[in-house]
Amino acid sequence: MTEESSSRPATLLAQAGHYEDAATGGVTPPIQPSVTFARDRDYALRLDGVSYARDRSPTFLPAEHVLARLEGGAQALLFASGMAAATAVFRCLAPGDHVVAPRVMYWALRDWLQRFCAQWGLELDLYATGDDADLARRVRPGRTRLVWVETPCNPTWEVTDIAAAAAVAHAAGARLAVDSTVATPLLTRPLELGADLVFHSATKYLNGHSDVVAGALVTRDADAHWRAIADQRANGGAILGPFEAWLLLRGMRTLDVRLRRACDNAMTVARHFAAHPEVEAVLYPGLQEHPGHAVAARQMSGGFGGMLSLLVRGDAARARAVAGKMQVFVRATSLGGVESLVEHRASIEGPGSPVPPNLLRMSIGIEDPADLVADIEQALG
Ligand SMILES: *Cc1c(COP(=O)(O)O)cnc(C)c1O
């Protein structure tokens, strides 16, 4: 890595940490596919810790460097997926540990967590998402080891006060981990608000082009817990391929402009449909009537994200029919890409889902906002 010209996020991102290839002067890093790395006559390595690609690959380093700088953390680690990164955090807990997590959160993780806790002997308490007092009540001093929050959270976009959650977790001797996938490092800086660990599904906004599955963790301190997480990656083996790591950094370079356009488009859509007769409610933290708006306005800066949900007037069948009529929005899962997506979450999550049956989740992309508004209008009509 070369000397940085600026620590401002947009500059860091655009210049990939002011990258210049040491060997060639190239302004983008090369893909290094080698699995193993030669030692000199004295048995020294050229790059610290880079001897075998399952432990550390040179192709991970520029993206990890930029992420650590963006979040203001000591170190970052890329993983093979968001789930690989998130599950590494929980696998570092010991049987008998108590964990607090939201009731409404990224569904696949909550589903895995419930099974893993039962199997691994962890005690799991789910708090009412968006209710900071309920979170505080569930944290047990001396027993809780980890508090996991997601903000804004999928798919209702409730907001958790990170600073308040950090105070409660730390008073009890627990760590706070924040799933900041939807906020991205540009809109919220959880470590500055007191969190110990930040998680991103890099599949989403960080990469932004729906063509890489990846995850990332950033830590405030490179402490024993972090070393255990790094060991989970190295020896659990959930590493990203060099090409995927390279593509991820390529995507990250445009995060600032992509995200700002998505935030603007989401605000336009949210405002347009807030009072629509066929819409019961628009769930978007950028709207004043959203229950999390005050906290979001405090802990997010530069926008409220590109994710929103519409509660369509009617039942699940009506919501699915509206999604079925869309022509600009693509009916697909995932989020954070440049193209807009719509999803009927209750159909995906199945019975037992806490998601309202009339909810349509929308990942707002960077298209012309007039096309997005017109598409939803015609689908509701
Ligand atoms: C997608 C997602 C995950 C899981 O990440 P993968 O990259 O799909 O493994 C976790 N949390 C949130 C909020 C997500 O959107």
Model confidence pLDDT, tens digit, residues 124-176: 999 999 999 999 999 999 999 999 999 999 999 999 999 999 999 999 999 99
Architecture of domain 255-380: Alpha-Beta Complex (3.90)
179 Cβ inside 6 Å of ligand 1: yes
Window from 174-183, 288-297, 346-355 with minimum mean pLDDT: 346-355
Q: Is the CB of 204 under 6 A from ligand 1?
A: yes
CA dist., res. 174 & res. 194, Å (int): 12
Q: Where are the domains of the chain?
A: 3-252, 255-380
CA of 334 to the centre of ligand 1 (A): 8
Give the pLDDT confidence score for residue 353 in this predicted structure.
85
pLDDT at 192 over 60: yes
Is residue 188 within 6 Å of ligand 1 at its C-beta? no
CATH of 3-252, one of 3.20.20.70, 3.40.50.300, 3.40.50.2000, 3.40.640.10: 3.40.640.10
Same fold, 3-252 and 255-380: no
Atom 12 of ligand 1, nearest CA residue? 106
Ligand 1 pocket, residue 201 CB under 6 Å: yes
pLDDT at 2 over 80: no
- In this predicted structure, the answer to whether residue 324 has a pLDDT above a threshold of 60 is yes
- Is the C-beta atom of 129 inside 6 A of ligand 1? no
Predicted confidence (pLDDT) at residue 209 exceeds the cutoff of 90: yes
Mean pLDDT of 187-206: 98
Active-site positions read: 54, 106, 179, 204
Cα 18 to ligand 1 centre (Å): 28
- The alpha carbon of 37 and the centre of ligand 1 are apart by a number of angstroms equal to 32
Question: Which residue CA neighbors atom 1 of ligand 1 most closely?
Answer: 201
Q: For residue 224, how far is its CA from the centre of ligand 1 (angstroms)?
A: 25
Q: What percent of the chain has pLDDT over 70?
A: 99
Mean pLDDT of 37-60: 94
Q: Is the peptide bond before 30 cis (omega within 30 degrees of 0)?
A: no
- Burial category of 22 from C-beta neighbours within 10 Å (exposed 0-12, middle 13-18, buried 19 and up): exposed
Alpha carbon distance 173, 146 (integer Å) = 9
Give residue 6's pLDDT: 83
The alpha carbon of 20 and the centre of ligand 1 are apart by a number of angstroms equal to: 31
Cα–Cα distance measured from residue 300 to residue 317, given in angstroms and rounded to the nearest whole number: 35
Residue 352 confidence (pLDDT): 83
What pLDDT digit, counting tens, does each position of 57-66 carry?
A: 999 999 999 9
Q: What is the pLDDT of residue 79?
A: 98
Q: Which residue has the higher pLDDT, 352 or 360?
A: 360
Q: Is 150 in the pocket of ligand 1 (CB under 6 A)?
A: yes
* Spatial distance between the Cα atoms of 353 and 128, rounded to a whole number of angstroms: 14
Q: Residue 191's pLDDT is what?
A: 98
pLDDT of residue 354: 86
State whether the Cα torsion 91-96-102-107 is positive or negative: positive
Tell me which of 81, 106, 334, 362 to substitute to probe ligand 1's pocket, judged by most ligand atoms within 8 Å of the beta carbon.
106
Q: Is residue 315 over pLDDT 90?
A: yes
Average pLDDT over residues 349-369: 94
**Does the C-beta of 341 come closer than 6 Å to ligand 1?**
no
pLDDT in tens, 70-122: 999 999 999 999 999 999 999 999 999 999 999 999 999 999 999 999 999 99
Whether residue 123 contacts residue 329, with contact meaning beta carbons closer than 8 Å, is answered with no
**pLDDT reading at 3 higher than 80:** no
pTM score, two decimals?
Answer: 0.97
Lowest-pLDDT choice from 2-6, 91-95, 232-236, 311-315: 2-6
In 3-state terms the chain splits into helix, strand, coil percentages (rounded to 5) of: 35, 15, 45
